[in-house]
Structure 1
Amino acid sequence: EKFEDDTTFLRGFLREEWVGKSLDSPHIMKVLPRRENTQFYYHVCEYIEGQSLRQWIIDNPSPSLDSVRRIVKQIIVALRTFQRNDMVHRDIKPENVMITTHGEVKLIDFGTVLVKSLLETGEQTHEDYPVGSVNYIAPEFLIQNHSDFRTDMFSLGVIVYEMLSGALPYKPFKYKDYIPESANEFHYQSIKQYRSDLPAWIDICLKKATQPEQQKRFNALSEFEAALDNPKDIVATEKRPPLIERNPVLLWQWVSAVLLVIVLLQTWLLSR
């Protein structure tokens, strides 16, 4: 298929090349310079010998926390590089993470990277979410087409959940192209139902990283990383939610019971 008349595609293609050349991190795939004065547009990328994180998940159905941490820490290094350069990857999923034969992690595919400086100057426009990645996309990008580093954090949290359990923290919507109306349609599923051997603090950590409301997530990627290492810290910072959030049915049962007692008491007093 030819895209010579598709200016939006060409701008995105050139932006992807520029991103790969601009970012310097051992955990981000490099895009190498191509021959000058060529009449064709193409990418020359570094060769990565290894497997995708998707294949790693298939090969490791019940991995240890340590093995997951080693991979996640490297992904966070890559994402912090994007953040320092005012960029958001926006398509973090197992297929876009490569693991070399030496265990080094590299983030690939920059086709949907948001470059804030280009957005401000009008050289980049808001684009639709990546097709086929809905299960990993944060609600604010999916619903409002808004994204920042916490958008990538959400996707990473989903990946960590899937690495540990083989499942997703939120049930996929019935239709592939369905766009929810609000973040209220996202209902977190405890990872303990898939891996009862995992400590409870892991569930707390992943629930916070994948909060549908972005302001409720960790304030920094480094905080997410620290929480995966230090269970005492994440448990201490998490306040016990009110009863109406933990068990609304039980709350209303208590309220109804109290009201019933009041009504019966008033009836008894009036009958005297």
Structure 2
Amino acid sequence: MTKSNRLSINLASHSEKGLKEINEDAVGFFVPTEDRLLEGKGIILAVADGVSSAEAGKDASETAVKRFIDDYYPTPDTWSVKHAGQKLLSNINITLFKRSHEFANEEKGYLTTFSGLVIKSRTCHLFHVGDSRAYLFRNNELKQLTRDHVASIATGRSFLARAVGMDNCLQIDYSTVDLEDNDLLLATSDGIHDFLELDKLTEILSLNISEQEKIDLLAKTAFDNGSDDNISGVIAQVNQLPNESLNDYNSKLLRLPFPPPLDPGVKLDGYKVIKELFASSRSQLYLVEDTDSGEQMVMKTPSITFEEDTGYIDRFIQEEWIGKRISSEYVVKIIEQKRPRTCLYYLMEYVHGISMDKWMKQNHFPKPKVAISIIEKIAKGLAEFHKTETIHQDLKPANILIDTHNNIKIVDFGSVFVAGLAEIFIPLEHEGVLGTATYSDPKYLLGKNTGIQGDLYALATISYELFCGKLPYGEKIEECQTAFEYDRLRYIPANEVNPVIPMWFDRTLQRGVAFDLEERYENIDEFLTDLKNPNPVYLRDDPKVTKNKSQVLFWQLLSGFWILMLILVIAMFKQG
């Protein structure tokens, strides 16, 4: 996420005891410094008003605000904001409820109101319990976003009908607001809003002063108007919203119709179809030309078979969104639309090359330097996925394009998993298609999200095939459906298939494709290091440091320095 596309908000808070002996209100906010958290989790602001008659209101309000902020960011990335916020508040509620019952004989209760706002992407998620309030100030108009959970009695008095810690089952008001640049969000305890008319709130928020000056002035004015309660509030001024999120894409693109099959010569939104490049049961790829610029690109369209399948449509829309987040010379580039779309499709750069599975058939046992170079480029492409908390999950030769200069492009975002999105992890299905079951991590295929280690397994499998022309567990892996069937497979040593391969190189490949995650490399950099340089551990474990001339030739081709390194390693062990 570029600096110019970051969520930017000014925050300010104020909390004081007022005329009361102690301050039982609590306010807080948090802005992540990491772009990953800012984009994936958002910004939090909260106000809680401890119930003074419950004797433990101060502890209750501070616990609610602190735990909501502290516990929100470590929640699983697969949880939605709604799910995370509701689960956290429910847990906080149970904690306070149990504390209250510990002091049942002393009539000491841990009760508090709570209004929490999570600002993520272009949306404000609101969690509310009690009579604290949240407002939206936009275009000089103030709108209350919450409703007070109070009940009136015959004498005209009212009491709090809902609070955190009041019952073992908590009812939470949840809502969302689509934000705009220059919006202002305000959350207050009743020590402010019960003593300021709506017109006065609007007048102060309209002033051309800083956010801190505004919240301080709101507190002072409430006090001057006779506030006899604690006085607290927090303000969030939206300076800049990021570009559209996946949800924003969905809301717009879901309304677009599917395009029909496109014949050569047909024009769609200013793009002329030259030819069909690929077609499957799930999508079509067309080579098209921009009629304005003459630029050639690839248009991907969804299969009309899934026109009523909202899950498929969501996934198709997600592909474009994911591609736009990744910028690498080793990953196919998604092209920004220059004109409004009348149908559902997206555009990619046109790569002049062939898929890696075809390339390997034409280039049996490529030179080690060439093979290692290709592996490194694939790894660099994967690194860009991983920087954005994104896992490819379906890396295979058919999803890698190679041009005449052995440059590569990773393609296909259809199975990508993005941390932080509101989606359930769904493993690839066995469809009998060569590539999916062959290169994907068996743990992943059986339902476990193995993250970076899953992509590493695929990379190691491709590396093995580059040097051996075969698969590390043989062709039977394509037929495996259960954990038992995978357990029956045995790794085929690379140097049995290709005698030129030294033992340490084989050990690296074996560890890269290990089914057991404890044995497999944890990251790609470590795998590449051992692939390019003899790991002393593997040399030490091998009683026969081979001097076969073909292996020496292999090392020389792989790196001009490897023989020297080997001598240094042996010398080191002799000294030890």
Note the 1:49-198 alignment, pairs <5 A: 49-118=352-421, 121-122=422-423, 124-129=424-429, 131=431, 132=433, 133-173=436-476, 176=479, 178-181=481-484, 184-198=487-501
Tell me: CA distance 1:186–1:35, structure 2 relative to 1, closer, same or farther (3 Å).
farther
Helix, strand or coil: the match of 1:102? coil
Give the CA deviation at 1:101. Answer: 2.5
1:222 aligns with 2:525: yes
1:204 to 507, 511, 536: 507
Give the CA deviation at 1:160. Answer: 0.7
Please say if residues 90 and 114 of structure 1, whose CA atoms lie closer than 8 Å, have aligned partners that are also in contact. Answer: yes
Structure 1 distance, partners of 2:485, 2:493, is 21
Please say if residues 438 and 478 of structure 2, whose CA atoms lie closer than 8 Å, have aligned partners that are also in contact. Answer: no
Structure 2 distance, partners of 1:86, 1:182, is 31
Moved over 6 A (4+): none
Please say if residues 477 and 486 of structure 2, whose CA atoms lie closer than 8 Å, have aligned partners that are also in contact. Answer: no
Structure 2 distance, partners of 1:2, 1:45, is 22
Give the CA deviation at 1:183. Answer: 5.2
Q: Which moved more, 1:8-17 or 1:129-138?
A: 129-138
Please say if residues 20 and 110 of structure 1, whose CA atoms lie closer than 8 Å, have aligned partners that are also in contact. Answer: yes
Give the CA deviation at 1:113. Answer: 0.3
Q: Which moved more, 1:126-135 or 1:207-216?
A: 126-135
Please say if residues 204 and 234 of structure 1, whose CA atoms lie closer than 8 Å, have aligned partners that are also in contact. Answer: no
Higher CA-based Rg: 2
Give the CA deviation at 1:33. Answer: 2.0
Q: State the partner residue of 1:27.
A: 330
Gaps of 5+ in 2: 1-303, 543-576
Structure 1 distance, partners of 2:394, 2:316, is 15
Structure 2 distance, partners of 1:37, 1:66, is 46
Q: Which moved more, 1:221-230 or 1:140-149?
A: 140-149
User: What are the Cα deviations for residues 119-169 of structure 1, in whole angstroms up to 9, with x where unaligned?
Assistant: xx33x5424346421011112101134230110110111111111111100
Structure 1 distance, partners of 2:347, 2:374, is 26
Structure 1 distance, partners of 2:510, 2:478, is 24
Please say if residues 151 and 214 of structure 1, whose CA atoms lie closer than 8 Å, have aligned partners that are also in contact. Answer: no
Q: State the partner residue of 1:252.
A: none
Q: Which moved more, 1:181-190 or 1:100-109?
A: 181-190
Q: State the partner residue of 2:305.
A: 2
Tell me: CA distance 1:183–1:234, structure 2 relative to 1, closer, same or farther (3 Å).
farther
User: What are the Cα deviations for residues 167-209 of structure 1, in whole angstroms up to 9, with x where unaligned?
Assistant: 1001233874633337533311111121011111111010010
Helix, strand or coil: the match of 2:476? coil
Structure 2 distance, partners of 1:137, 1:44, is 27
Please say if residues 437 and 478 of structure 2, whose CA atoms lie closer than 8 Å, have aligned partners that are also in contact. Answer: no
Tell me: CA distance 1:177–1:197, structure 2 relative to 1, closer, same or farther (3 Å).
closer
Structure number with the higher helix fraction is 1
Helix, strand or coil: the match of 1:158? helix
1:17 aligns with 2:17: no
The letter of the residue matching 1:181 is F
Structure number with the higher strand fraction is 2
Normalising by structure 1, we get a TM-score of 0.80
Aligned length, in residue pairs: 236
Helix, strand or coil: the match of 1:16? helix
Of structures 1 and 2, the one scoring higher in RCO (CA 8 A, sep 6+) is 1
Structure 2 distance, partners of 1:174, 1:107, is 24
Structure 2 distance, partners of 1:177, 1:11, is 29
Give the CA deviation at 1:9. Answer: 0.7
Normalising by structure 2, we get a TM-score of 0.39
Tell me: CA distance 1:99–1:174, structure 2 relative to 1, closer, same or farther (3 Å).
closer
Please say if residues 138 and 155 of structure 1, whose CA atoms lie closer than 8 Å, have aligned partners that are also in contact. Answer: yes
